[in-house]
Amino acid sequence: WGDYSVSFATPNAVGLYHIDVYVTDYTLEGEETATLDIIPRPDRNDIRIVVSTNYHETPRINPPTADVFDIYVTVSNTGTVDINNDIAVDLNENQPGMGGPLLNNWVIAGGLNAGTSQSYTYVHQGVPNVGWYYFHGTATHAAMALEDYTNNNTYSTRKYIYPALPDLTPTDIAWSNLPARRNHGVVGRDFNASVRVQNKYVTASGPTTATIDYRGPFTGNVWAHYNDIVVPALGTFEIRYLDFDQAINIPVGNAGFYDFRVTVDPINPGIIVEEDEDNNVYTETIEVKNPDWDFDVNSGSIEISSYNPNFGVSEVNFTADIQNRGTDSATDVGVKFEYARFQDGDVIGPWIQIGNIINIPFIDSNETVQNVTSNLWTVPDSDGYILQVTVDPLDVFAEYNENNNDENRWLGYEIYPWAHSNYYSTNVNTEAAVGRYISSRASWQADDVDVVFYDWFPHEPFAVGVVPVELNLQTVNIPGNNGTTIARASKLWTQVGLHKITCHADITGAEILASAINPNPASPDHFIGDYDNEIYEDNNVDYLFMTVYEPQPDLVAWSEFINPELLNPDEGEEITIQSSFENQGAGDVDDPFKVKFFIDSVQLGADIAVASINSNNNDAVQATELFSSNVAGAHVIRVELDTDDEIAETREDNNLASRVVVVGPAPNMIFTFIPDRNSRNLRDGDGISLSDSSPEVGDEITITVSIKNDGRAVGSAWLNLYYVIASDSTLIATREFTANDSEYEEIEVDWVATSEFGSITAVITDASPIEYNTLDNSTSIEFGPSLQFVSTYNSTHIDEDAGSQMIGDLDGIVENRDATDVMFVAETNVENVTTTIDQNNVLWVTPPADFYGTVVVTLEAINIYDDSKTLTFDVLVDNINDLPQITLPATFTTVADDTLTVDFAPFLIDVDDAEVSLNIAVEDNSNVSVSIRGIDVDIIPNPGYEGVETLYFSVTDDHSEVAATDSVVVTIGDDNETIEDAETLDITTVETAKYLTTDDVDFYTFEGTSDLSLFSVELTDENSLRTRIFFSTIEDGSDINLSIPLYSSEDGELIEVETNQTGYWFVRIDRVVEARSSNNNSYTINIKTLVSPKNISFTDDDSGVKLDWNEVSAAGSYKVYRKETLNDGWGDPIAIVPTNTFTDDDVENNYVNANREKAIYYYLIIASTDIVEVPVRYRFIKKQESDNSHISNRK
């Protein structure tokens, strides 16, 4: 692939022109075309104005008030026709919140010629206020009606004017020296922190201090002083990370969460007078934990004492490296080795332990114990097995991560052909080879493996009745330990077209296609092979393609092929110019073509005819005239091949090249070591060396670059150093240098390595005066290991229940400097989530049905020298909603004149754990009524009714509108049960009340001066307790916007209410509570509204108590304290204050014996800044036992 450009002269006539582009691919079988429409424009009139600003003192920084800055106005004639009228130029200003004055105006007398500009500068003497200032420029003239574009005759820019004071603000705390791969501290161990402080405005600040306080378990959870640090003077918009002066060490026994508070310039007013004195405090929390352990088996560390065993006789043992990634050392850590049968990715049969559990006497934090060795194991046979190594198999240690304790590898044979590229091409009537790697992903050495290639041209592979051509049958040996070898087949290709070829690994020599044995792996008569017990038998065939085409030539010119007699002649000195070129194509050039030389775009001499040039040959021509110039400086030589397009080539875009000749003395910078100084103990490149050839991330290395001025004049230039990995480069540093002619310059740059591998590239640019040879202005040096991952597929999303899904092409994420092919092995941390790598090195992941969540994929890359690297990344299997299900029992039974309450939770299933909604599916039951509260259902027979009713219910989840339905038969019999008397509630409402719903609202009435509107909101708290909150406002028919998140914390639950309406709010919370749980909560209600003066009263139906609140008119945030009723009867409420006096003992003494299970709390919320103490009555409902444990009868 590549970018191609075509240039042509604009036609003289106005109109629509079409350019057709024809593209064909390497197979010569397909084509694509595209059309560009080119419409040459006539001459145009166009005036353009641009306005910009610049701060005098610090360019490109917005100024503070009263500071001088410049406004630049540029007017250009960007058209192709002269403007011969005077042009008026106005500059206006708009100030914050108001209009603004005309700052200045100019007149461009006589207009502007096409392609010319005039600029003006207005010096602004400062502005009075902070904010955005807008500056508008306008250019007008008498002939504006003739302009093609008038929307660019005006231009606006803006500049923010900052306060003339600094503003110091702490914004972040960075923690360091934490345990590896952790984001928490450890008790008894030092860790460090630094605070990020910035000056938000343009005025510099002087030095001051910052106070650091902290609180946590060690301080009794109260703030304590930690230390003070110095805050240096900060410039405009400057940011500094300031280290805490002493390490943080929390004593043993005080684990928990710690808040660190940083106060910059703590005295108020502080040392620094700031624009904003209220943003000087920042608090951040870090957890400090007790020491822990985290063991794992190093990926890829499992080795075997022999990879070519004698089955049933040989004894082998296994070794593995065990690492403790935890923060504490450990003694007597066990390691278990075990194996099981393994076929087609499945474990078959039981796991069998190999010998005893191996003991590691001691392993320190972040230590790796290498080569932990198993007991001897007799290899039973050649079948496929899987070996698993597990550290801490008995779970003796409570680890930070319990999911990384095992690692496995395959034992057996697993033979498959593959290669990175499946495509080959060659000329017709030429001998060419195709090949495959023959590899084993398992452990044992495989000898005498038969491999054959078949050419199916012109048919598809395995077409019925087709007998392919055998290219080569050969025998290869595959080394053990995931070894790889190569198989090739060669032939004379005499037929043009796309040849589709199959490669078959592991077949018997006696089974040949001529005897009608089908090589298709899916066929029952597929070759069995000598290794008939591979772990996978369905991957022994690979597909490849050979394109055979008629050859074409390809004439190529390169800049380095242009060879002037001198690159740096003197003024007036004559030189010859010649150039070589190549035919890199497969075809010969038998017809003549022309070559031309140009100097500064003027042809030098006559056309040069070249009669012919064979494939892969080169030739040279010389300009027919000498070149000389009396003008010092750079002159461009250009050579063009086949200028009349007489030769049909495979590429037409590489027939031109150019090079510079500099007349007069000029410098020439080259990379080379200073003589007698390059025999150092360094890793050396061409003029570049590194102090450390294998750095770790964070190591500081010194890059030394040696440059010689090989020219005839002193010169200056810039050295640019880049860190390069794959196709990405990062600038490390730039250094300007000056070198006299024939002198050396040595430049050293210190760099902190950001990777363990890559290359350092040095480039010389911007030489002054210009160099006469820039083809040797770069050099590079590699460092680190040869095999590395250069990118990842982290956080790739795939869908649930979608089968095998592609993750990506693995070839693009690894770099192998040895230029050998790389083999990949992938596995996941989730059982039954499988991985597949196809013949194109594309990774596929297959989750099982109904699985969703995060899968950790471990990918190992291995080259033929057994260099290996491991990459771990996450694949996110997105939940695709499964519909909920409802399955009801055949019958419910209750008694007449009683309410049957049923918890429907056992009857509802949603595999996605979504929020479900229960509804009546058919509402035509005349003898019973149904009330649904979440998933609690009240079935209420009509008074005196006895009989049978069928009820239909439906359920939906919050992802779908499709409902599942089921029915239940309800039998209502005689009331022969003795039910404890309870309070009977009358529904009483004022005449003017309007209820949008009547669910559970029959416990109270309102008396007010206007109508009521009532609605409910269903919430679910952190403990999955159903909470229903009812709100009422005395503003009739209001539209109310609510934001009601519900949280849990040590200080109780927090409910935030926002509304765009005025008025009073009544909140009723109806929740199920456990009898033994303490419930010392308080609620902070923030109503962001103003209220109009009103009176409101509330009557408790059961107690008859009437509560009045007088007129209030203020809004704000306040606490509502709960008062509990602890008496056993239903008399008047007894208030207990404060909230925290409601303890577990109160529950034990007053609630448990009465079997009280449900409580109703009432709160009256008035938007007032005062604390309102509201009497609260708890109502408890006695639970009645019945035949169905999930059903309770309640009155």
Please report the pLDDT score of residue 856 as a whole number.
Answer: 92
Does the pLDDT value for residue 108 go beyond 50? yes
How buried is 718 (Cβ within 10 angstroms: 0-12 exposed, 13-18 middle, 19+ buried)? Answer: middle
Please report the pLDDT score of residue 34 as a whole number.
Answer: 63
Please report the pLDDT score of residue 319 as a whole number.
Answer: 95
CB 170 within 8 A of CB 176: no
How many Å apart are CA 1154 and CA 1175, to the nearest integer? Answer: 22
Whole-Å CA distances, 958 to 878, 882, 884, 937 = 16, 11, 10, 20
Does the pLDDT value for residue 1107 go beyond 50? no
Does the pLDDT value for residue 624 go beyond 90? yes
Local confidence band at 12 (pLDDT 50, 70, 90 cut-offs): low
Homologous superfamily of 415-549 = Immunoglobulins (2.60.40.10)
Mean pLDDT, to the nearest integer, of 153-161? 85
Whole-Å CA distances, 182 to 175, 204, 400 = 11, 38, 10
Share of the chain above pLDDT 90, in %: 28
Question: What one-character DSSP code corresponds to residue 771?
Answer: P
Please report the pLDDT score of residue 913 as a whole number.
Answer: 62
Write down the H helix ranges in 788-930: none
Cα angle 108, 113, 118; round to 5: 45
Whole-Å CA distances, 77 to 85, 117, 120, 142, 707 = 12, 6, 15, 15, 47
Lowest mean pLDDT among 396-405, 431-440, 1057-1066: 1057-1066
Mean pLDDT, to the nearest integer, of 1093-1109? 40
pLDDT in tens, 658-683: 888 999 999 999 998 876 544 433 33
How many Å apart are CA 290 and CA 277, to the nearest integer? Answer: 39
Lowest mean pLDDT among 428-437, 534-543, 1063-1072: 1063-1072
CB 540 within 8 A of CB 508: no
pLDDT in tens, 38-70: 666 666 778 888 887 765 544 344 567 767 788
Please report the pLDDT score of residue 1157 as a whole number.
Answer: 30
How many Å apart are CA 992 and CA 301, to the nearest integer? Answer: 80
Local confidence band at 613 (pLDDT 50, 70, 90 cut-offs): very high
Please report the pLDDT score of residue 289 as a whole number.
Answer: 92
Give the right CATH number for 669-784 from 1.20.1090.10, 2.40.50.140, 2.60.60.20, 2.60.40.10: 2.60.40.10
Does the pLDDT value for residue 110 go beyond 50? yes
Local confidence band at 592 (pLDDT 50, 70, 90 cut-offs): very high
Please list, in sequence order, all residues whose beta carbon lies within 8 angstroms of the beta carbon of residue 52, skipping any fewer than 6 positions away.
71, 72, 74, 157
Please report the pLDDT score of residue 881 as a whole number.
Answer: 66
Q: Which of 742-756, 1035-1049, 1154-1168 has the highest mean pLDDT?
A: 742-756
Please report the pLDDT score of residue 55 as a whole number.
Answer: 57
| Domain residue limits, the chain | 47-161, 168-289, 295-411, 415-549, 555-663, 669-784, 802-867, 885-973, 1004-1178
Q: What is the mean pLDDT of the chain?
A: 74
More confident residue, 411 or 273: 411
Local confidence band at 526 (pLDDT 50, 70, 90 cut-offs): very low
Q: Which two tokens stand for residue 232?
A: 């240096």
State the pTM of this model: 0.43
Mean pLDDT, to the nearest integer, of 820-843? 84
Report the 10 Å Cβ neighbour count for 968: 19
**Distance from CA of residue 366 to its chain's centroid?**
29
Mean pLDDT, to the nearest integer, of 1061-1070? 35
Q: Which CATH architecture group holds 47-161?
A: Sandwich (2.60)
Share of the chain above pLDDT 70, in %: 71
Lowest mean pLDDT among 465-469, 616-620, 1157-1161: 1157-1161
Altogether, the residues listed in the chain come to a count of: 1195
Please list, in sequence order, all residues whose beta carbon lies within 8 angstroms of the beta carbon of residue 703, skipping any fewer than 6 positions away.
688, 689, 690, 691, 721, 732, 748, 749, 750, 751, 760
**Distance from CA of residue 175 to its chain's centroid?**
23
pLDDT in tens, 544-556: 999 898 888 999 9
Give the right CATH number for 295-411 from 3.20.20.60, 2.60.40.10, 3.40.50.150, 3.40.190.10: 2.60.40.10
CB 199 within 8 A of CB 236: yes
Please report the pLDDT score of residue 578 as a whole number.
Answer: 93
Does the pLDDT value for residue 1158 go beyond 60? no
885-973 shares the fold of 415-549: yes
Q: Which of 257-266, 457-466, 516-525 has the highest mean pLDDT?
A: 257-266
Q: Is 1112 helix (H, G, I), strand (E, B) or coil?
A: strand
How many Å apart are CA 620 and CA 458, to the nearest integer? Answer: 43
pLDDT in tens, 878-915: 877 667 888 888 888 888 888 888 888 888 877 666 67
Report the 10 Å Cβ neighbour count for 1065: 22
How many Å apart are CA 1000 and CA 985, to the nearest integer? Answer: 11
**Distance from CA of residue 775 to its chain's centroid?**
40
CATH number of the 555-663 domain = 2.60.40.10
Please report the pLDDT score of residue 304 as a whole number.
Answer: 93
Does the pLDDT value for residue 19 go beyond 50? yes
Please report the pLDDT score of residue 106 as a whole number.
Answer: 92
Q: Which of 207-221, 419-433, 973-987, 1145-1159 has the highest mean pLDDT?
A: 207-221
Does the pLDDT value for residue 1189 go beyond 80? no
CB 621 within 8 A of CB 610: yes
Whole-Å CA distances, 849 to 762, 831, 856 = 54, 12, 18
Q: Which two tokens stand for residue 523?
A: 């066929």
Local confidence band at 125 (pLDDT 50, 70, 90 cut-offs): confident
H/E element, 1159: strand 1158-1165
Beta strands in 200-298 (DSSP E): 208-215, 224-231, 239-243, 256-264, 281-289, 295-297
More confident residue, 964 or 433: 433
Please report the pLDDT score of residue 398 as a whole number.
Answer: 86
Homologous superfamily of 885-973 = Immunoglobulins (2.60.40.10)
How buried is 1169 (Cβ within 10 angstroms: 0-12 exposed, 13-18 middle, 19+ buried)? Answer: exposed
Does the pLDDT value for residue 1178 go beyond 90? no
- Transcribe 967-1010 into DSSP letters: EEEEEEE---S-----PPPP----TT---S--TT-TTEEEE-SS
Mean pLDDT, to the nearest integer, of 803-822? 77
Q: Which of 58-72, 335-349, 462-476, 647-661 has the highest mean pLDDT?
A: 335-349
CB 862 within 8 A of CB 418: no
Lowest mean pLDDT among 80-94, 425-439, 879-893: 879-893
Q: Is 26 helix (H, G, I), strand (E, B) or coil?
A: coil
How many Å apart are CA 190 and CA 186, to the nearest integer? Answer: 8
Mean pLDDT, to the nearest integer, of 1081-1099? 33
Beta strands in 125-191 (DSSP E): 131-141, 154-161, 168-176, 185-186
Query: What is the fold, at CATH topology level, of the domain defined by 168-289?
Result: Immunoglobulin-like (2.60.40)
How many Å apart are CA 623 and CA 597, to the nearest integer? Answer: 6
CB 75 within 8 A of CB 60: no
CB 230 within 8 A of CB 209: yes
Mean pLDDT, to the nearest integer, of 853-859? 90
H/E element, 1150: helix 1144-1150
pLDDT in tens, 265-291: 987 677 888 888 889 999 999 999 999
